[in-house]
Amino acid sequence: MRIYKEKDYESVSRKAANLISAQVISKPDSILGLATGTSPLGAYHQLAEWCTKKDVDFSRVISVNLDEYVGLSPDNSESYHYFMEKNFFSKVNIAMENTHVPNGHVSDLEEACKAYDSLIQDLGGIDLQLLGIGSNGHIGFNEPGKSFLLDTHIVQLTESTIKANSRLFSRIDDVPRRAITMGIRNIFQAAKIVLIATGQNKADALYRSFMEPITPEVPASILQLHTNVSIVADEEALKRI
């Protein structure tokens, strides 16, 4: 496990963008696993800037996102589809048909999960998976206490995740209670993992994930066993490490 300790959000974002660029430069047709949330946002802005200057080229990249809320249509401004389109896909030269986000707006959710697993498998797996981390140690929407063996599945969000994510909705009641997420197994099978964490509210999650025993109660703790994990974090998030 590598830890990149950076002074603030801006340098964390730049370092994470460096790691993603390095991946795409060495393998232009990389399969990138992407994440939503505040953590990767700065990296996306940085990559968009470099792409405009032609320092990085996404024209052959294929992306698969981690998760999506159940019940929100892709054009809903609070959906993860919308977030990705607004903050990344529309800002770089990735082909829209090469971008994939799980579909939580269908009647047959089980089928949507299976289809997403098949897609990842048909692509040959993920080369680099970008992650944020929830304050309870969740990655994607893999909440505490679920099996490490799960592939893409439907989750019931915990109260703490609903509360944390309500900052992006007008009212807490608008936050969907369910989500579709890649499972820990999909994430763990990625060749490389880059986890971004900033701010003191992530310090306990990083400590419990990387300094304490591995347990499904702290989903990110499984990453201790992965052979290629980079944590890119600021001093506040790393203050207990």
Using the minimum distance from each CB to ligand GLP, give the nearer residue, 57 or 85: 85
Residues touching ligand GLP, count (CB under 6 A): 14
Q: Which two tokens stand for residue 89?
A: 């896909």
Nearest of 179, 155, 156 to residue 81 by alpha carbon: 179
User: Which whole-number Å values give the CA distances from 209 to 30, 71, 123, 138, 139, in the listed order?
Assistant: 28, 30, 29, 9, 11
**Among residues 31 and 35, whose Cβ is nearest to ligand GLP?**
35
Looking at residues 25 to 44 of the shown chain, list those that interact with ligand GLP (rule: CB under 6 A): 35-39
Would you state the torsion angle of the CA atoms of residues 5, 189, 23, 59, taken in this order, to the nearest 10 degrees?
-130
- Minimal distance in Å, beta carbon 219 to ligand GLP? 11
> Which of 32, 66, 193, 231 forms a contact with ligand GLP (CB under 6 A)?
66
219 near ligand GLP, judged by CB under 6 A: no
- Contact call for residue 65 and ligand GLP (CB under 6 A): no
6 in catalytic set: no
Enumerate residues 6+ apart whose C-beta is below 8 A from 123.
Answer: 31, 62, 64
Contact set with ligand GLP (CB under 6 A): 35-39, 66-67, 132-134, 140-141, 161, 165
Active site residue ranges: 67, 136, 138, 143
